[in-house]
Structure 1
């Protein structure tokens, strides 16, 4: 596992992930309809290409719900550690071991084989989770990509809402690595990135922009900080 241990949310972390497809946006990059690729895929590709052209991160908008999640996550992590007895190791950014230009930023590493993905949703969504609603597909894809990047066997999906009575605040559901799903995702992500590279090259040719240095996006990220094996 190759890690870039910048603090999540820091300027260094934002720069390292700029122009790279993250696990949290994976569902958009592989979005399909009955007739073909979905609009979310086109929007995600445009954002990725703009980041590679300008070096400016595009995912900067944060609404009240997103800020609530960021602010509540440490409390949720503490509750998870208390419930499970596990120590959660914070992690900045992890490169995909085989595909250049994509990464994961897990909420935490657990032991030698696990991860934790923490969601702090609005009460209505947490209520649905408590009553047995299945994990949304976008989060399943996110966790599977995280497990692939981090080479882990399982990920605990955590939903936490401090608005509920103490016994109901924390929900934990373990998700195991699904090799078949990951293989399909890798095929679609590779196609997405190849198409993005092609469109980027066409733009540079049409508008006279200089070609980028012959260095892979993985190497550019590594130049920010030497990754270390875990």
Structure 2
């Protein structure tokens, strides 16, 4: 059995993530609730829900971990646990998109700050 350790917000440069727990040396845990009809649909499909891929791969990237267990539950229904491993190609795309977003954000902040200096002059 592996140790679970709750964590707060993790940072990697200008990116961040907040997984629900670190598992051992290599894993993460993310816990979600789903409405009963959505959880039943996910249980019947039996695969990692694609709507959680970006968040979970982002957490693997930021935390530098190898795998993540996604636990989805609703009271009274079976819990669904699926594991995803690092998708390096997806993480590379995500990293590029985050860098582009941060560059654009920095540009906008500088533009707004410059506008404020012009108004003060």
Partner in structure 2 of residue 136 of structure 1: 50
Residue deviations 1:82-115 (CA, integer Å, cap 9, x gap): xxx443210011111xxx3221111000111100
TM score, norm. by length of structure 2: 0.89
Structure having the larger proportion of residues in strand = 2
**Rounded Cα–Cα distance in structure 1 between residues aligned with 2:14 and 2:96:** 14
1:145 and 2:54 correspond:
no
Q: CA deviation at 1:188?
A: 1.0
Q: Which residue of 1 aligns with 2:6?
A: 90
Show structure 2 runs of 5+ residues with no match. none
User: Please, what is the CA RMSD of the aligned residues?
Assistant: 1.6
Equivalent position of 1:106 in the other structure:
19
- Using a 3 Å threshold, how does the CA distance of structure 1 residues 179 and 113 change in structure 2: closer, same or farther? same
Superposed CA offset, 1:29-51 (max 9, x none)? xxxxxxxxxxxxxxxxxxxxxxx
Structure 1: runs of 5+ lacking an equivalent: 1-84, 210-230
Bigger relative contact order (CA 8 A; separation at least 6): 1
Aligned 8 A contact 2:57 2:91 in 1: yes
Report the number of matched residues.
117
- Cα distance between partner residues in 2 of 1:198 and 1:157: 36
In 1: Cα distance, 2:116 partner to 2:65 partner: 43
157, 174, 188: which is aligned to 2:70?
Answer: 157
Structure 1 consecutive aligned stretches of length 4 or more whose deviation exceeds 4 Å: none
The reply to whether residue 200 of structure 1 matches residue 109 of structure 2 is yes
Contact 1:153/1:176 (CA < 8 Å) preserved in 2?
A: yes
